[in-house]
Chain A
Amino acid sequence: MQIEKQIAHRNKKNKIFKGVIIAGTVISTLPLLLILFYIFRQGITAINWQFFTNLPKPVGETGGGVSNAIVGSILILLVSCVIAIPVGIIIGIYLSEVAKSRLAYYCRLAVDVLQGIPSIVIGIIIYEWIVRPMGGFSAFSGSVALALMMLPSIIKSTEETLKLLPESLKEASLALGVPYYKTILKIIVPSGLSGIMTGVILSIARVIGETAPLLFTAFGNPFMSTDIFRPMSSLPLIIFNYATSPYSDWHQLAWGASMLLILMILILNIITKIVQRKWKVQF
């Protein structure tokens, strides 16, 4: 009798615990749903044709848009991709090829540390390295800041993908007399392309909404600008500036910009899932 009671008690505890875990998990996902719901509800009314084609208008005038921020975001990201992707892939190749040297150890450590640096500190660094010597804020400096933040995840995904490839692939190529550099560039890298691409797209999704490193680099610009050596606007900057302003017209634009940004991030994430599934690295 005593034992049965005890067992019933323990079973009850077991069930309650499972309930608590499930409740905790469901509560943890609530913020995401609430955020998405709220942003889409507010943003959907802000998005129309003018939103994409017009420049921001002064408070009180209707029909303002964020075309300059959209163009700015895309340009800044393009330049940072041009900087970060080749460098990141090359370093990733080094780490997977020369896995055990002392330099590889320090390089890996440096990549880990780089990944953890607060984004605002990256902003300070680029300000000191590029903005101050060049004598002013520029989109280019913003691109470099974002490139610096993209590097670690590109390096890591490249390294991890290439490590999964079988040795025999490389050996077969070398046995045919193909030079080492051609083996790497024409056999190894294309074989791991899907993994590398996933890393690149994820890194873009990660920095597309970064604001802190752009505050004192790209700085923002109320006008349309395509000159990467001048200040340029971008979606996250416009969200920050308008969200903290007291005008509801501007809040509306910021909601629209937030929705656009989240849609872009969602789409990038979906693309990576598709890439992963379609071109899975397998041997």
Chain B
Amino acid sequence: MNEIAFQAKQINLKEKVFKKTLTLSAITVVVILLAIFFTLLINSMPSIKALGGKFFYDKTWDPVADEYGALPFLVGTLLTSFLALIISTPFSIAVAIFLGEYYKKGVVAEIFKNVIDLLAGIPSVIYGFWGLFVLVPIVRTIELKLNLPPYGVGIFTSSVILAIMILPFSVSLSRQVISMVPSHLKEAAYSLGATRFEVITKIIIPYTKSGLFAGLLLALGRALGETMAVTMLIGNTHQIPTGIFSPGNTMASVIANEFSEATGKIYTSSLIEMGLFLFVVVTIINILGKQVIKRFTL
């Protein structure tokens, strides 16, 4: 009798420990996230205090002279990301329509789906390496034809690589929303004599436009924080880019290049402030995107 009571007690104890562990681990994730935010915030305090808003509109970045203006990198980040988005959007929508409407099932669909998935699986550093040896010479010849200084590296080269890298992210979402369009809507249009082209442009795209937009947002979030490939291809200069072929720098690549060598409190802290900025912007974009998807699926 005593034995059983003892066993029951032990099981109860284990039960409690198990449930507590579950709850605790869930709390841990939230705590980790908050800790990430506050670590960034606290460590960028020295630079926020010393530089204030000047950080974002001062255009000289000269650690030797103790001047930290992040404007060139802000411009570089926005320029590469949006250019990449512009390049990749027509293709991502084409692939999404291909996989979501024309070839939903079958061997062709499987092959293309796997290829796009693999595109997402290739490491950033390999994209950069490939870009350095294949894309840069191509861009250089284009620049020579256009009578521009033949850097090869620069905003344009980075944007092309970024466009390839973010394609799978917008495709995966857009494909899902396109295949979710209710078939009675499409059938109604077909029964009125619409061609497939008309069904796609007049029914599917208007119906899915918020979902497609969310796909673009998520891809933009990826592009903003992408580091290695861009670091290898952008040229790493500290000037504001003058055109899409000129070299530049992005926030992520400045951090990658200079963080481990940064000496001095303000220098390190201003790099962390850029990290904070990236974190906040990317987080807002991701939450917005998720919100749009949630409304779409409801």
List the A side residues contacting B92 at CB < 8 Å: 28
Say whether B30 contacts A215, CB under 8 Å: no
Verify B275–A121 contact, CB threshold 8 A.
Answer: yes
A sample of 17 cross-chain residue pairs with beta-carbon separation below 8 angstroms, ordered by A number, consists of A23-B94, A28-B116, A38-B133, A90-B25, A91-B29, A94-B22, A94-B23, A116-B225, A116-B283, A119-B225, A123-B256, A179-B11, A181-B15, A209-B122, A254-B129, A255-B129, A265-B122
Would A113 and B11 count as touching, CB distance under 8 A? no
Q: Which of B49-57, B194-202, B239-247 contacts A (4 or more CB under 8 A)?
A: B194-202
- Which 7 A-B pairs rank lowest in CB-CB distance, beginning with the nearest? A209-B123, A118-B225, A24-B94, A181-B18, A116-B286, A14-B195, A14-B197
Number of A positions contacting B (CB below 8 A): 84
Stretch at the interface among B63-71, B95-103, B140-148: B95-103
A interface: dominant SS: helix
Who on chain A is nearest to B195 by CB?
A: A14
Instruction: Point out residues on B near A: beta carbons under 8 Å.
Output: 11, 14-15, 18-19, 21-23, 25-30, 32-33, 36, 39-40, 43, 90-95, 97-99, 102, 112, 115-119, 121-130, 132-134, 164, 167, 195-198, 200, 221, 224-228, 232, 252, 255-256, 259-260, 271-272, 275, 278-279, 282-283, 285-287, 290
Chain B interface main SS type = helix
User: Would A116 and B221 count as touching, CB distance under 8 A?
Assistant: yes
Closest to A111 in B: B29
Closest to B93 in A: A24
B122 touches A18 (CB 8 A): no
Given the interface contacts A24-B90, A35-B130, does A103 sit within 8 Å of B26 by beta carbon?
A: yes
Chain A residues engaging chain B, CB cutoff 8 angstroms:
10-11, 13-14, 17-18, 20-25, 27-29, 31-35, 38-39, 87, 90-91, 93-95, 97-98, 103-104, 106-107, 109-121, 123-125, 127-129, 148, 151, 155, 179-181, 184, 205-206, 208-212, 215-216, 219, 236, 239-240, 243-244, 251, 254-255, 258, 261-262, 265-266, 269
Instruction: List residues of chain B with CB within 8 A of the CB of A23.
Output: 94
Given contacts A24-B98, A25-B112, contact A211 B124 (CB under 8 A): yes
- CB A156 to nearest CB in B, in angstroms, measures 12
